[in-house]
Amino acid sequence: MVREIVASAPGKVNLHLGVGEARADGYHDLVSVFHAVDRRETVRLAVVGEPGAGPVVESMRTTFFVDRPGEDIDGPKNLAWRAVEAVAARAGVALPKVRIEVDKRVFVAGGMAGGSADAAAALVAANALAAEYGAALPPEALHEFAASLGADVPFALAGGTALGTGRGDELAPMLSRGRLHWVFVNPKIGIPTGEAFSLLDDLRHTNPALVPHLNTAELSQALTAGDATRVAAALHNDLEAPALQMRPVLRGLLEAAGEAGRRAVVSGSGPTVAVLCDDAEHARWAAEHLAAEFDGAEVFVAEGPDGGAVVERVC
Ligand code: C5P
């Protein structure tokens, strides 16, 4: 019988993040261009018991290849834990108890959707476990669970480059040619996502320049043409203004990153800064340069687009 299932899912950067109106459900309508990068989270389900009734997750352990957060994240509230239980409950057959082991390579609370990637990888891993017991769920069910776990989880499932509307969870794949080479710099000055969105609402009352940017036509054409110079010029994030207001030190990093690379933007709600470079060598150079200049920041290079959540191994 199956002993272990390993799955992975990508981190992301928003090439465009346009924030529209606040909605009644506490979310905002978005027009987002998501781009998956080859910095991936790994989720392993290790079978530790026989099939039986009740919860399937026995325990969880995260190994950090980035800086660990102050608090313990290995509990039933973790999105990966909730993803496995959701699939198991819907599967409708007895599944064996599992231990979840996460290898974390995407910054924690950095604006790159690392937690969402854990959830997406856990969903496909749990579905592979259900399949071993003849109870695999259809892709629509996984997408539905993904959207219920968080606005960024459906994209972590899908990967590639995609237009996200609604809360960001209604996805349409986008054409893109060529590879984009990135450096990601996390200055570790935590920005709570919900606070960034609500500060943007406040700032819009007094600053008429902060209109929602909902047009992605130029970016879309630049991606289709595979023209990195045009992609760089078209990068945009409506959440950059609240991020800079909340954490003014981010401005210096953004400026230095923009000089080291071709263009720098805040990733998602931040505080990670994404730096688009000309090629892999330029990215390596910019990474070394920024790591030296911003002592204490975490830095890695990555390329995109990369694939979505996938089962790597069943044994
Ligand atoms: O989906 P997730 O839990 O990552 O979102 C965290 C918070 O970010 C939400 O509670 C909400 O305040 C804000 N958010 C938003 N509109 C979105 C996505 C997130 O206002 N489309």
Query: Which atom of ligand 1 is least distant from the CA of 116?
Result: 4
Nearest by Cα to 101 from 42, 44, 40, 48? 44
For residues 92 and 164, membership in a common domain is answered with yes
Question: What's the CA-to-centroid distance between 53 and ligand 1, angstroms?
Answer: 34
Q: How far apart are CA 83 and CA 113, in angstroms?
A: 15
Answer whether residue 87 is part of any domain.
Answer: yes
Among residues 172, 198, 223, which one ends one of the domains? Answer: 172
Q: What is the CA radius of gyration of the chain?
A: 19
Catalytic annotation, pick one of 152, 169, 238, 306: 152
Among residues 142, 172, 202, which one ends one of the domains? Answer: 172
Answer whether residue 72 is part of any domain.
Answer: yes
For residues 194 and 86, membership in a common domain is answered with no
With the most atoms of ligand 1 within 8 angstroms of its CB, the residue from 19, 23, 28, 193 to mutate is 193
104 CB near ligand 1 (under 6 Å): no
Among residues 172, 201, 217, which one ends one of the domains? Answer: 172
The residue whose CA is least distant from atom 20 of ligand 1 is: 27
Question: What's the CA-to-centroid distance between 168 and ligand 1, angstroms?
Answer: 9
For residues 197 and 91, membership in a common domain is answered with no
For residues 80 and 160, membership in a common domain is answered with yes
Question: What's the CA-to-centroid distance between 286 and ligand 1, angstroms?
Answer: 31
Q: How far apart are CA 138 and CA 87, in angstroms?
A: 11
Full-model pTM: 0.97
For residues 145 and 289, membership in a common domain is answered with no
Pairing of β 273-277 and β 236-237: unpaired
168 CB near ligand 1 (under 6 Å): yes
Residue 105's Cβ-side half-sphere holds a number of Cα atoms within 13 Å equal to: 16
Q: How far apart are CA 227 and CA 244, in angstroms?
A: 28
CATH classification of the domain holding 149:
3.30.230.10
DSSP letter string, 115-158 = HHHHHHHHHHHHHHHHHHTT-PPPHHHHHHHHHHH-TTHHHHHH
Q: Is 12 a catalytic residue?
A: yes
Query: Which atom of ligand 1 is least distant from the CA of 113?
Result: 4
192 CB near ligand 1 (under 6 Å): no
Task: Identify the pLDDT of residue 159.
Answer: 98
For residues 32 and 164, membership in a common domain is answered with yes
User: For each successive 10 residues of the chain (315 residues), what is the average pLDDT?
Assistant: 96 98 94 98 97 95 96 97 98 96 97 98 98 97 97 97 96 97 96 96 96 98 97 98 97 98 97 98 98 96 98 97
Q: What domain range includes position 10?
A: 4-172
Question: What's the CA-to-centroid distance between 280 and ligand 1, angstroms?
Answer: 33
Quote the number of domains for the chain: 2
CATH classification of the domain holding 190:
3.30.70.890
For residues 131 and 84, membership in a common domain is answered with yes
3-state SS assignment for residue 309: coil
For residues 160 and 15, membership in a common domain is answered with yes
Answer whether residue 283 is part of any domain.
Answer: yes
Question: What's the CA-to-centroid distance between 194 and ligand 1, angstroms?
Answer: 6
Task: Identify the pLDDT of residue 1.
Answer: 85
For residues 67 and 138, membership in a common domain is answered with yes
Answer whether residue 137 is part of any domain.
Answer: yes
Answer whether residue 231 is part of any domain.
Answer: yes
Answer whether residue 55 is part of any domain.
Answer: yes
For residues 137 and 258, membership in a common domain is answered with no
For residues 161 and 203, membership in a common domain is answered with no
Answer whether residue 314 is part of any domain.
Answer: no
30 CB near ligand 1 (under 6 Å): yes
Answer whether residue 311 is part of any domain.
Answer: no
With the most atoms of ligand 1 within 8 angstroms of its CB, the residue from 33, 191, 197 to mutate is 197
Q: Is 238 a catalytic residue?
A: no
For residues 158 and 66, membership in a common domain is answered with yes
180 CB near ligand 1 (under 6 Å): no
